[in-house]
Structure 1
Amino acid sequence: MMEIFALDVGSGTQDVLVIDDKLKDFKAKVVMPAPTRLFASGIRKAGKDIFCDGYTMGGGAISMALVNHAKKFRVVMTEDAARTVRDDLEQVKERGIEIGAEADMREDYSKFTLRDVDMDSFRSSFKAMNYELPGPRDLVVAVAVQDHGSAPKGMSDREFRFEQIAGIIKKGATFRDFIITRETPVFTRASAVIRSLHDQGYHNVLVMDTKIAGIFGGMYGAKLPAIVMDVGNGHTTAASITEDGSIVGIFEHHTFSLTPNKMKDYIERLANATLTNEEIFNDGGHGAYVREPISPESIIVTGPRRMQAEETGLNIRYATPLEDVYMVGPVGMVRAYQDMKGI
């Protein structure tokens, strides 16, 4: 029996679950600010030139902090770290950030080593609370992050991201098909997580998109078929799941664009297979793909903005695996490991 360190890295929080691979022997749960927010806070307080090395990580708050900092001070980043701001390094430079090495810095500067997952920090924190994480050989690290992917020139990030998701579903997707265990040029952030963990000595690693992990965790214990929706701070993703656990439909939109009537309409037409990619994309969302209709037994909702779904008037229920709404993503990652290993 393996112990799993399951982590869902969002834009607001990072949610940690340490548990056995049967989801029975609970060890620890932690909810704390997301790495992008913690790094952003440090950058805002620096008050001097900064240098960033490390890996590509989630942008959002840290990207904004770096761009704002570059208006007053020098900001120098290695290529990998700079892709946290934009995959296109020319666009990074246009924002006032230099691409370089630590040797380019003057004497007085602050250094930040970027990464989405710092296992030494978690290990030290747990040890201070009298809990010892297993060593790298005896620990599975399962991480959920959102990755728009490395879009080719001429294609938007949102279009490219959804094209990857829809492409998997078109082939007949189960959740196992969304697991990433090796570096890939398509998903730069997921690959950076894998590389970072390997460099830290952890090789039992799997990564999944945070929205897919949230949906997988949200349907834990649910009667299928079902619609499962993750209403996040930035994005809302909903999937239609058949009785055998296959994903046959999905749409993804920006949460702020979804009125109650629009959300209700999209959910109902996701179920009856009349929702189109064009209308979601043209409305500013990522897209939609529906292979076949389902008659859902339930509509399950999770995510930090889940309360918005109540205003649709639909008969929804909230996902609370392990009786904790914050553990939806981590539970999804444990389930991904179970699927991968046939547990």
Structure 2
Amino acid sequence: MSRYLMIDIGAGTMDVLYYDDVADLHYKAVVKSPARLITETVADTNGNLAITGCEMGGSPLSAVLKERAKTARVVMTHAAAATVHHDPSRVTASGIEISDERKVSTLQRQPDFTSLVLADLDRDRLEGIVAGFGVPFAFDCVAVCAQDHGVAPSGVSHLDYRHRLFTADLEQTPYPHALLYRSDEIPAAMNRLQSIARSAAHLTTTEIYVMDSGMAAILGASMDHCCRNLKTILVLDIATSHTVGAIIDAGQLAAFFEYHTHAVTGDRITTLLRDLADGRLTHDAILAEGGHGAYTRRIVGFAAVEIILATGPKRRLIRSSPLPVVMGAPWGDNMMTGTVGLLEAVRRRKGFSAMTYV
């Protein structure tokens, strides 16, 4: 390994980790998420919008674009419109226009339109962040994680479809890093991750990897020093938009669940953690509650769990739980959970020597 840039793109923040194993140093930053930044930009403008770019995350961004379309023209390219919905008819039903790249680019030059370019990765912004680290903007590897709901076939729930894509890989290789994809391996249905990889191609790097943010968080949390030398661990990451819990048993992913953070309480999470370990969660039941789903490969039993470790910017939800929850900090920083997971996934993928994140 040498110079690595890890980027975790969340709903609230973008977390950046630079690691150089030759110089034995790492630097990190937590900044406003791309979706939040663009949402605020839209809110600060008036009138018509002409939008190019690609799919990026963030339901607040979709909401503010739909709201603007009620009073002004919002014209998007097909690629950018995927941010609002993968079904173009759903986008246009909200009043947003979809047009070809040439027409939208022409509108962007008109004085009565505000021009926007959607992308989760902005080279200029990243250059500024890395400049603050005091290191060159050149990397041997860039790895990025984000939440991608996937483009499901017509009539199929995107949450169910995404879940089945993931579990198919995990059945073959039951480790979180199985969901790390090199830029030429990304499933076609993962449109947002595909878009991120294309954006990353404009960075100065030799290799590009992408990963689901939930799996990156699970792996990163399991790297916390409190989990060292333990066989059966239960990790929980409560992020701005999504909450994931997982059982790691002898290094393998035994079970996991995923919810929207706004839909869970501390009491509900406490129940979910017990039920996850005892094998009482079913995918269909979690979907019916509005969650993303659940998966069980092996039931370990709650009594076998040696530690419950929580990470994520909203982990305060679990502070009042009667369970003995340990507040984790992979590599000394709760906000680096996803980036540590990315780095560990890349390390495992490339077969490098084991690292300790202390």
For the aligned pair, the TM-score class normalised by the smaller chain equals over 0.9
Q: Give the counterpart letter for 2:7 in structure 1.
A: L
Cα pair distance change 1:318/1:169, threshold 3 Å: same
| Distance in structure 2 (CA, Å) of the matches to 1:225 and 1:24 | 30
* Kept in 2: contact 1:273–1:291 (CA 8 A): no
Partner of 1:17: 17
Indicate the residue corresponding to 2:284 in structure 1.
Answer: 278
The letter for the 2-side match of 1:148 is: H
Residues 125 and 184 (structure 1), Cα distance of their counterparts in 2 relative to 1, 3 Å cut: same
Q: Which residue of 2 aligns with 1:123?
A: 127
Which of residues 96, 115, 122 in structure 2 aligns to 1:111? 115
Tell me, in whole angstroms, the C-alpha distance in 1 between the residues paired with 2:31 and 2:349. Answer: 28
CA RMSD of aligned residues (A): 2.0
Q: Percent identity?
A: 31
Q: Which residue number corresponds to residue 329 of structure 1?
A: 338
Distance 1:212 1:224 in 2: 19
Separation of aligned partners in 1, 2:245 and 2:129? 35
1:27-68 Cα offsets, whole Å, 9 max, x none, are: x21111110010111111121311111121113222122111
Q: Distance in 1 between matches of 2:205 and 2:51?
A: 23
User: 1:164-183, aligned counterparts within 5 Å?
Assistant: 164-181=165-182, 182=184, 183=186
Q: Which residue of 1 aligns with 2:145?
A: 144
Q: What's the CA shift for 1:23?
A: 10
SS in 2 for 1:160: helix
CA 1:70 to 1:25, structure 2 compared with 1: closer, same or farther past 3 Å? same
Q: 1:47 is matched with which residue? A: 46
Determine if contact 1:145/1:208 at 8 Å carries over to the other structure. yes
Q: 1:130: how far off?
A: 7.1
Moved more, 250-259 or 40-49: 250-259
Matches within 5 A, 1:216-235: 216-220=219-223, 221=225, 222=227, 223-235=230-242
1:212 paired with 2:221, answer: no
Quote the Cα distance in structure 2 between the aligned partners of 1:160 and 1:22: 41
Which amino acid in structure 2 is aligned with residue 45 of structure 1?
A: D
Could you list the runs of 4 or more consecutive aligned residues of structure 1 that deviate by over 6 angstroms after TM superposition? none
Matched ranges for 1:1-343 at <5 A: 1-21=1-21, 24-26=24-26, 28-100=27-99, 101-104=104-107, 106-127=110-131, 129=132, 131-135=134-138, 138-181=139-182, 182=184, 183-200=186-203, 202-220=205-223, 221=225, 222=227, 223-243=230-250, 245-294=251-300, 295-343=304-352
How many equivalent pairs are there? Answer: 338
Verify the 8 A CA contact 1:56 1:188 in the aligned structure 2.
yes
**Which deviates more from structure 2 when the two are superposed, residues 274-283 or residues 41-50?**
274-283
TM-score of the superposed pair, with normalisation by structure 1: 0.92
Q: Is the 8 A contact 1:213 1:330 kept in 2?
A: yes
Whether the aligned pair in 2 keeps the contact of 1:63 and 1:85 (CA below 8 Å) is yes
Instruction: Give the drift of 1:120.
Output: 2.7
**Which amino acid is 1:225 matched to?**
T
Distance 1:301 1:20, change over 3 A: same
Task: Give the Å deviation of 1:308.
Answer: 1.4
Q: In structure 2, what is the Cα distance between the partners aligned to 1:133 and 1:73?
A: 43
What residue ranges of structure 2 are gaps of 5+ in the alignment?
Answer: 353-358
What amino acid sits opposite 1:46 in the alignment? T
Q: TM-score if structure 2 supplies the norm length? A: 0.88
How far is 1:22 from its partner? 8.2
Q: 1:38 to 1:259 in 2, by over 3 A?
A: closer
Unaligned runs of 5+ in 1: none
Deviation string 1:166-198 (CA, Å, 9 cap, x unpaired) is 333333411221012224321010000001111
Q: Structure 1 residues 259-268 or 81-90, which shifts more?
A: 259-268
